Structure 1
Amino acid sequence: MSAPTGAVRVLSPTGMLGAGFTQSTVDRGIALGADVISVDAGSTDSGPHYLGSGTAKTTAAAVARDLRILLRAAAQARIPLIVGSCGTSGTDSGVAWVAEIVEDILSEEQLDLSVATILSEQPADFVKTRLREGAVHPLAPTGPLDEATVDSCTHVVGMMGHEPVEEALRAGADVVLAGRATDTAVAAAFPLLQGMPAGPTWHAAKIVECGGQCTTNPRTGGVLATIDHTGFTVEPLDPDAACTPISVAAHMLYETVNPFRMREPAGWLDVTDATYTALDDRRVRVEGSRFIEADQHTVKLEGARITGYETMSFTAIRDEHILAHIDEWTDLFVKVFTDRVAQTLGLDDTDYSFDLRRYGHDAVLQGLDPATRPPREIGVMLLVRAATQQLATAVAKVANPLMLHLPTPDMAYLPSLAFATSPAETERGPVYEFVLHHVVDTRTPTEMFRTTHRKAPSHD
Structure 2
Amino acid sequence: MGNEPVKSVRVLTPSGMLGAGWDHATIERGIALGADVISIDGGSTDSGPHYLGSATPKTTAKAVARDLRSLFTAAADAGIPVIVGSCGTSGTDRGVDWVAGIAAEVMAEEGLDLPVAKIYSEQNPADLKEHLNAGRVHPLPPLGELRAETLESCTHIVGAMGHEPIVAALRAGAQVVLAGRATDTAVAAAYPLMMGMPAGPTWHAAKIVECGGQCTTNPRAGGVLATIDADGFTIEPLDPTVSCTPITVAAHMLYETVNPFEMREPDGTLDVREARYTALDDRIVRVEGSKFHVAGQYTIKLEGARVTGYETMSFAAIRDPLVLADIDAWADLMRTVIRQRVGQTLGLADGEYAFDLRLYGHNAVLDDLEPESGPPREVGVMLLVNAPDQATATAVAKVANPLMLHLPAPGMDYLPSFAFASSPAEVERGAAYEFVLNHVVDCDDPLSLFRIELGENTRA
Asked if residue 369 in structure 1 is aligned to residue 384 in structure 2, the reply is no
Letter in 2 for 1:197: P
Letter in 1 for 2:121: S
Give the distance between the partners of 1:168 and 1:307, measured in 2 at CA. 37
| Contact 1:362 1:371 survives alignment (8 Å) | no
Aligned to 1:211: 212
Give the deviation of 1:109 after TM superposition.
Answer: 1.0
Give the distance between the partners of 1:256 and 1:115, measured in 2 at CA. 32
Asked if residue 92 in structure 1 is aligned to residue 93 in structure 2, the reply is yes
Give the deviation of 1:106 after TM superposition.
Answer: 1.3
Aligned to 1:47: 48
Give the distance between the partners of 2:5 and 2:106, measured in 1 at CA. 29
Give the deviation of 1:370 after TM superposition.
Answer: 4.9
Aligned to 1:195: 196
Give the deviation of 1:359 after TM superposition.
Answer: 0.3
Give the distance between the partners of 2:50 and 2:441, measured in 1 at CA. 23
Aligned to 2:7: 6
Give the deviation of 1:285 after TM superposition.
Answer: 0.3
Letter in 1 for 2:69: R
Aligned to 1:348: 349
Aligned to 2:256: 255
Residues 160-171 of structure 1 aligned to structure 2 (within 5 Å): 160-171=161-172
| Contact 1:405 1:417 survives alignment (8 Å) | yes
SS in 2 for 1:255: coil
After TM superposition, the score normalised by the length of structure 1 is 0.98
Deviations 1:280-324 (A, max 9, x none): 000000000000000000000000000100000100000011111
| Contact 1:362 1:370 survives alignment (8 Å) | no
Aligned to 2:29: 28
| Contact 2:309 2:433 survives alignment (8 Å) | yes
Give the deviation of 1:409 after TM superposition.
Answer: 1.4
Give the deviation of 1:276 after TM superposition.
Answer: 0.4
Asked if residue 146 in structure 1 is aligned to residue 164 in structure 2, the reply is no
SS in 1 for 2:80: coil
Letter in 1 for 2:172: A
SS in 1 for 2:356: strand
Letter in 2 for 1:239: P
Aligned to 2:110: 109
Give the distance between the partners of 1:134 and 1:253, measured in 2 at CA. 33
Give the distance between the partners of 1:365 and 1:46, measured in 2 at CA. 19
Deviations 1:186-227 (A, max 9, x none): 000000000000000000000000000000000010000000
Deviations 1:225-256 (A, max 9, x none): 00000000000000111100000000000000
After TM superposition, the score normalised by the length of structure 2 is 0.98
SS in 1 for 2:350: coil
Give the deviation of 1:371 after TM superposition.
Answer: 3.9
Deviations 1:166-204 (A, max 9, x none): 111111110000000000000000000000000000000
Aligned to 2:380: 379
Letter in 2 for 1:128: K
Give the distance between the partners of 2:152 and 2:336, measured in 1 at CA. 37
Give the distance between the partners of 2:108 and 2:348, measured in 1 at CA. 57
Letter in 2 for 1:237: L
Residues 55-94 of structure 1 aligned to structure 2 (within 5 Å): 55-94=56-95
Give the distance between the partners of 2:235 and 2:342, measured in 1 at CA. 59
* % identical equivalent positions: 69
Aligned to 1:402: 403
| Contact 1:245 1:284 survives alignment (8 Å) | yes
Give the distance between the partners of 1:18 and 1:86, measured in 2 at CA. 11
| Contact 2:317 2:419 survives alignment (8 Å) | yes
Q: Which runs of 5+ in 1 are unaligned?
A: none
Give the distance between the partners of 1:373 and 1:281, measured in 2 at CA. 46
SS in 2 for 1:142: coil
Give the deviation of 1:266 after TM superposition.
Answer: 0.5
Letter in 2 for 1:448: L
Deviations 1:309-362 (A, max 9, x none): 000010000001111110110111111111011111111111000000000111
Aligned to 1:17: 18
Give the distance between the partners of 1:231 and 1:371, measured in 2 at CA. 46
| Contact 1:113 1:455 survives alignment (8 Å) | no
SS in 2 for 1:15: coil
Aligned to 2:419: 418
| Contact 1:156 1:302 survives alignment (8 Å) | yes
Deviations 1:416-443 (A, max 9, x none): 1010000000000000000011000002
| Contact 2:68 2:103 survives alignment (8 Å) | yes
Aligned to 1:159: 160
Deviations 1:98-151 (A, max 9, x none): 001111111111112100000000001111000000000000001111111100
Residues 189-338 of structure 1 aligned to structure 2 (within 5 Å): 189-338=190-339
